[in-house]
Amino acid sequence: MENLISALHADISVIGTLKTFRKGARMLDMGMPIAHLYLVVKGRVIMTKNFRNSKKRHICHIMYPGEFVGIGEIFSKEKTSRMSAFALGEEVRAWKIPYFKFELELRQNSNLVDCIILQFIKKRQEIWKRYQRKRSLSSPDVIIEFLKDIAKERGVAENGWIVAQGFTHSELGAYIGICRQSITQTLNSLKKENLIKYNRSEFLINPKLLQK
């Protein structure tokens, strides 16, 4: 997978231009025509959707470096974006790629096809995980399982803690489908038990939490 991604960056650098997005910058706009997609190089991008029957904004996906933003629309008839995309919590760097160039590349680059399909499978598994937890666990347990995930998948060991990039309480809620109040309550009680520490930019997770 690592080799796939580095080969991919070399291919994409020919057809895309590297752009920088500030915290909160909008990269895609739900319902608007799109002519570009992005390959994330640094930082995180959130894909959000306003669902019918709901005023809340949901975070559908978090895209990390090596992942494409706006990929689904290439293969569907409608060339309007089904989600909005925003730079999350820090500066984001990404390749901006015109659709028509990407489509041409796709026809000759089986490496790129593999990357895309792997990304679809991975993101589908992430949705499943969240859906399944929502079906079978209590709110505090949903939050704990999420913290374990980011510690395992994105965490860096430091002074006996595992450091992972931060989310605000409402971002966290919009991602795992728990109201902000329950998030705050659960995080506070985990903090009292010394299982986590957090600030605006990061979560520090006690390795003991992973055994929970």
Tally the C-alpha atoms within 13 A of residue 134's C-alpha that lie toward its C-beta.
13
| Dihedral sign (CA 164, 165, 168, 172) | negative
Give the residue with the Cβ less far from a copy of itself, 92 or 147.
147
Would you tell me how many other CB atoms lie within 10 Å of the CB of residue 105? 18
State the Cα–Cα distance between residues 102 and 105, nearest whole angstrom. 5
User: Least separation, in Å, of the C-beta of 47 and a copy of itself?
Assistant: 11
Binding residues for a copy of itself, rule: CB under 8 A, are 51, 53-54, 56, 58, 60, 72, 75-76, 107, 110, 113-114, 116-118, 120-121, 123-124, 127-128, 130-132, 134-137, 177
Give the Cα separation of 198 and 47 in Å (integer): 24
The least CB distance from residue 117 to a copy of itself, in Å, is 5
Pick between residue 45 and residue 116 the one whose CB is nearest to a copy of itself.
116
* Least distance (Å) between residue 138 CB and a copy of itself: 11
Helix (H, G, I), strand (E, B) or coil at 168: coil
Query: 12 or 83, CB closer to a copy of itself?
Result: 83
Given the complex with a copy of itself, which of 92 and 151 has the nearer CB atom? Answer: 151
User: Which of residues 90 and 126 has its CB atom nearest to a copy of itself in the complex?
Assistant: 126
Query: Residue 188 CB, nearest distance to a copy of itself (Å)?
Result: 23
At its nearest, how many Å lie between a copy of itself and the CB of residue 10?
21
| Shorter beta-carbon distance to a copy of itself: residue 121 or 156 | 121
Q: What is the rounded distance in angstroms from the CA atom of residue 6 to the CA atom of residue 145?
A: 31
Q: Within 71-179, where are the H helices?
A: 72-75, 99-108, 110-136, 139-154, 169-176
**Which residues make Cβ contacts (< 8 Å) with residue 65, sequence separation at least 6?**
40, 41, 42, 43
CB of 54 to a copy of itself, least distance (A): 5
